[in-house]
Structure 1
Amino acid sequence: MVGLLTVLLLIPALLINLGLLAFIDDEGIRSLVALEMKLSGNYITPTLHGIYYYNKPPLYNWLLLISFELFGSFNEWSARIPTVVCLLGYGATIFYFFRKHYSDRVAFINALVFITCGRVLFWDSMLALIDTGFSWVMFGLFMVIYHEFAKERFLRLFGLAYFLTAVGFLLKGLPAIVFLGISLLVYFVYRGRFRKLFSWQHLVGMLIFGVLVGGYYLIYHQHNSLERVFTTLVSESSKRTVVRFGWKETMVHLLSFPFEMIYHFLPWTVLAIYLIRKDVVQLIRRDSFITFNALLFLANILPYWSSPEVYPRYLLMLAPLIFSVFIYLHGIHRSENSWQYRAVNGLFLFICPVIALAALAPLFLESTAGLSWLYVRTLLPAFCLGLCAYYFFRDKPKRLLWLILFLVILRIDFDQFVLPDRNRNDFGDAVRQSAIDTGRRYADQPFYIYEHSETQPATSFYLTNARQGIIQRLYPDSLATGTYIFDPRTYGDSLYQKVDELKVRHGELKYYDVGIPR
């Protein structure tokens, strides 16, 4: 009953006000590339402002295009729906593989623990980014390696692994190959089957990857040179490493990284306390599947632990691996009623009622005064949160399920109060409206970016979508009659006559000039 209610509420939780907030710049890049594909009719070679874009392969842009076409508009809602679909698919995949080893309840908990961790539930599930879909594919890769290895079906193992790696590569580039290489090497060495990596079955897998990825780039080469494609992909994968940042920042990152990740993936990282016991390694090794998950987590997290500029969304494929270890240990600690188990429950027994009481805050806030149905919209979720807190206390066998339901209801409350308030006070909304108004105002005349004037991708998306035409960047030897965006920090007004302003989100300067060359 608790699980069914959680699933039913999860859908509105993920969809309410999904398209409300303006794009952040990474969302703007993905959506702008997809939009320019549509406007140009060129679906093979991605572009930004009509210039070839090399940083990412095109698969995610194709997925965005499908969503845009299905919903009939290029907007935030249709751009973010693929993330929700991928997240639900990811959760279903976790459930599918975990129920091969454990009960349906344990498999369900593993799936929902991932979906309801703070980083996913209150951030990444609301953004039109590659990472959720890419992480889903990489998690599938991990599961294929374990389950096909267990049955010694090595042709299926390498075939499926390289197929998923090809999909991951066409989504995000070289990280997919890194995950494949580390996972195969570590696990085959651990299982004493290193020589199998030199088998004909492995060669077949490589051929599958070569056909899929090579086939795309063979078609790409008919439209544009491959000279910059792979050097840029390599650069994208290495720019956040010690090579760029140096040893000092790297050392600081090495020390702070575990604490940052614990923060981002709360509340479930609280269960890391279960690792504090002398026989934890022996306990993990009792279960071969949990051993595999722990092994691949440790092996694949090392490149990120050693890279100073890492965002939590880069680790979404690893989160279910370590969460599964925590949940496995949770059952052991619960049966022993250990001090760790009592500490975890004591913490949640304190926090949940406090949050339930805090959910009454909209009744007393000036920012929510005057909202329609305020008392119903406030009291109903607060009551449901309080009910979950009560049953978390009373229904000990289902405590994790009640906590999951608590988090889903909290996300609904977040959707209806926090997101609108954030949008009202977010300069991004003013930037969005400024770009849309500017795009419409100059929709019937040529419109360009002048020389090296900086652009911000979200602004560029809204401008391009409003004009329904690609905004090209022009240089002095190719200037055409029309209106241009000028960066006033770079170009003086002696070069152009200012006719308008365009708000921008980032940096000290909050606007760019719109003008006509003199």
Structure 2
Amino acid sequence: MNDQQRNKLLYILSILLLFPALLINLGLMTFIDDEGIRTLVALEMKLSGNYITPTLHGEFYYNKPPLFNWILLGYFKLLGQINEFNTRIPTLVSLLGFAATVFYCFRKKYGTYTAFVLAMTLITCGRILFWDSLLGLIDITFSWLVFVQFMVIYQQFQRRNWLWLFALSYLCTALGFMLKGLPAVVFQGFTLLAYFIYQKEFKRLFYWQHFLGGMVFVLVVGAYYAVYVQYNGLDTVFQTLFTESSKRTAVQFGWWRTFLHLFTFPFEMVYHFIPWSIMILYLLRRDLWKVLQQDNFMVYCALIFLANIWVYWASVEVYPRYLLMFCPLLFGIFLHLHQNAAVQQPWAAKVVNGFMAISVVLMVLTLTIPLFLPQTQSTPYLYLKSGVLLLLAGGLAYLYRYWQPQRLLIIAMLLLVGRIAFNWFVLPNRNANDYGDACRKSSIEAGERFRNQDLYIYRKTGMQWTNSIYLTNTRGKIIPVKMEKMDPKALYIVDPARYFNAVDSVSELKVRHGRRHFIIGTLKAKR
């Protein structure tokens, strides 16, 4: 079997492994807070019939524009119900679309194998494989769109097709804005500035094509807000969107924490994007820029990464999921340098290859652990599942030893096997011991019990969004906030830590955070 045949075999096996890796027990865990927000906004749109102005508990929600909520509603309608699994399916579709786009953009220049490996590194980096691909959040969809924005600018620049460059990239910016607000505009601005200045085409940013392309953004976003203003004013909207984009900086956290973050940020990100981030060692060479300049696309990837990453590097409260659009850029550079590292950087190649070999051994050994852990002994078909996974992992480890040109792809496949094990053995035990499951059960029970009764949130009780989505979805009614003119016959959700002795309790809601509870009850009679 030659390398081409081996590659084809591994492509097929990789794709087959993707489905169980990404789908098994996808809907098992309780909604986290951000998932609860996204799903609740979409649900309230459906319940109110108002698809223009997002709300939470009937009050205007300003933090994000509504495009992702519309996407969720489309999936809910297609799949038939609102639940954890259906909320997370859009994330997986976007992840696969993101990976396919990476493959498409890199294939012509670097060949099928390199492009396929790069797509798989995106899916199997630690942060995505064991966290973000399990959640129904905006970030993977947004990152995919931003990456498309990057690629449009590069490809159309190479063709000198200025009108299409600006029109298509601003269309991506507009859609990105409708997903997440101002960050999409920031990406567009810094990318255009950096690349056009580097290519000595800065003056083209003032040509008519740029202004005409910018009108695409104005028309798309302006059309939405022209309708929005018929329901609500715009002052709070744009003020909140700006605050959302700036609140994680030194303005909020102070200069000392920001200064410390500048040093810790690279190490934190290397940790989150293991194992592929270990190749960052390849960047430790004096002639790095000279090497990258031999390939204009590698220069573009590096330039756009540097032009945009500083925004997050300087922000204290940054979650790794905000950086996913950079993964193909940086991983692409890593793979480019990896090809000749054994000759040009033997010390780095030895460290990277040694790390990968140790990882293979550890992944195989880890798959034996469920056979002995007390927490996994109740897993259905424990020995069958463990046996299948060990057989797969053992076979891949054998191929890793003898199919050296395919080693990176084999590691990606081993990571998919590890995710299947995670789905089978870790998630059920985690769910059984997660306080979120108790929160979900108590919220659903309360929703069923009080389905036909008027229910309000009492004054400034700070609802936890996990409770909110399960209560609202079960009852099929928006639960509004009640600040005044209390209805003595209605029920109220109260935070007893804030409003002690406000209601006579008829039920309790367990919450995800704080090991506290909320009370559902009727107003106490005035004495």
Q: TM-score range by the shorter chain?
A: over 0.9
CA distance in 2, matches of 1:367, 1:244: 42
SS in 2 for 1:135: helix
The within-5 A match list for 1:159-174 is 159-174=167-182
Pick one of 406, 411, 426 that aligns with 1:418. Answer: 426
CA distance in 2, matches of 1:429, 1:229: 34
Q: Deviations over 1:385-444 (max 9, x none)?
A: 122222212211111111111111111111111111111111111100110001111111
Matched with 2:305 is 297
Pick one of 27, 30, 54 that aligns with 2:62. Answer: 54
Matched with 2:4 is none
Asked whether the equivalents of residues 371 and 386 of structure 2 are also in contact (C-alpha less than 8 Å), the reply is: yes
Is structure 2 residue 513 aligned with structure 1 residue 506? yes
1:363 CA drift (Å): 1.2
Asked whether the equivalents of residues 26 and 129 of structure 1 are also in contact (C-alpha less than 8 Å), the reply is: yes
SS in 1 for 2:109: coil
Matched with 1:358 is 366
Matched with 1:346 is 354
Matched with 1:367 is 375
Q: Percent identity?
A: 51
CA distance in 2, matches of 1:351, 1:180: 38
Is structure 2 residue 222 aligned with structure 1 residue 240? no
CA distance in 1, matches of 2:161, 2:331: 27
Is structure 2 residue 105 aligned with structure 1 residue 63? no
Asked whether the equivalents of residues 107 and 114 of structure 2 are also in contact (C-alpha less than 8 Å), the reply is: yes
CA distance in 2, matches of 1:105, 1:492: 64
Q: CA RMSD in A?
A: 1.1
Counterpart amino acid of 2:175? V
Counterpart amino acid of 2:210? H
1:478 CA drift (Å): 4.8
1:371 CA drift (Å): 2.9
Further displaced range: 124-133 or 496-505: 496-505
Q: Stretches of 4+ moved more than 3 A in 1? A: 334-337, 477-480
Matched with 2:293 is 285
Asked whether the equivalents of residues 353 and 386 of structure 1 are also in contact (C-alpha less than 8 Å), the reply is: no
1:157 CA drift (Å): 0.2
Counterpart amino acid of 1:291? V
Matched with 1:515 is 521
CA distance in 1, matches of 2:123, 2:506: 48
Counterpart amino acid of 2:414? F
The within-5 A match list for 1:220-231 is 220-231=228-239
Question: In structure 2, do the counterparts of structure 1 residues 224 and 34 end up closer, same or farther at CA, with 3 Å as the change threshold?
Answer: same
Matched with 1:194 is 202
SS in 2 for 1:505: coil
1:351 CA drift (Å): 2.3
SS in 2 for 1:443: coil
Is structure 2 residue 18 aligned with structure 1 residue 18? no
Further displaced range: 260-269 or 477-486: 477-486
CA distance in 1, matches of 2:49, 2:32: 26
Matched with 1:406 is 414
CA distance in 1, matches of 2:232, 2:488: 25
CA distance in 2, matches of 1:29, 1:296: 32
Q: Deviations over 1:70-123 (max 9, x none)?
A: 111110011000000000000000011111211011111111111110001110
SS in 1 for 2:27: coil
Matched with 2:478 is 470
Is structure 2 residue 42 aligned with structure 1 residue 28? no
Asked whether the equivalents of residues 356 and 383 of structure 1 are also in contact (C-alpha less than 8 Å), the reply is: no
CA distance in 2, matches of 1:271, 1:77: 34
Asked whether the equivalents of residues 349 and 389 of structure 1 are also in contact (C-alpha less than 8 Å), the reply is: no
SS in 2 for 1:471: coil
Is structure 2 residue 96 aligned with structure 1 residue 115? no
Is structure 2 residue 186 aligned with structure 1 residue 144? no
SS in 2 for 1:476: coil
1:346 CA drift (Å): 1.5
Counterpart amino acid of 2:301? N
1:491 CA drift (Å): 1.1
User: Number of aligned pairs?
Assistant: 516
1:277 CA drift (Å): 2.1
Counterpart amino acid of 2:516? K
1:383 CA drift (Å): 2.1
1:372 CA drift (Å): 2.7
Further displaced range: 353-362 or 132-141: 353-362
Matched with 1:206 is 214
Q: Deviations over 1:33-61 (max 9, x none)?
A: 00000111111100000001111000000
1:480 CA drift (Å): 5.6
The within-5 A match list for 1:322-333 is 322-333=330-341
Counterpart amino acid of 2:244? E
Structure 2: runs of 5 or more not aligned: 1-8
Is structure 2 residue 132 aligned with structure 1 residue 124? yes
Asked whether the equivalents of residues 169 and 188 of structure 2 are also in contact (C-alpha less than 8 Å), the reply is: yes
Counterpart amino acid of 1:150? Q
Asked whether the equivalents of residues 55 and 61 of structure 2 are also in contact (C-alpha less than 8 Å), the reply is: yes
Counterpart amino acid of 1:414? F
CA distance in 2, matches of 1:320, 1:471: 42
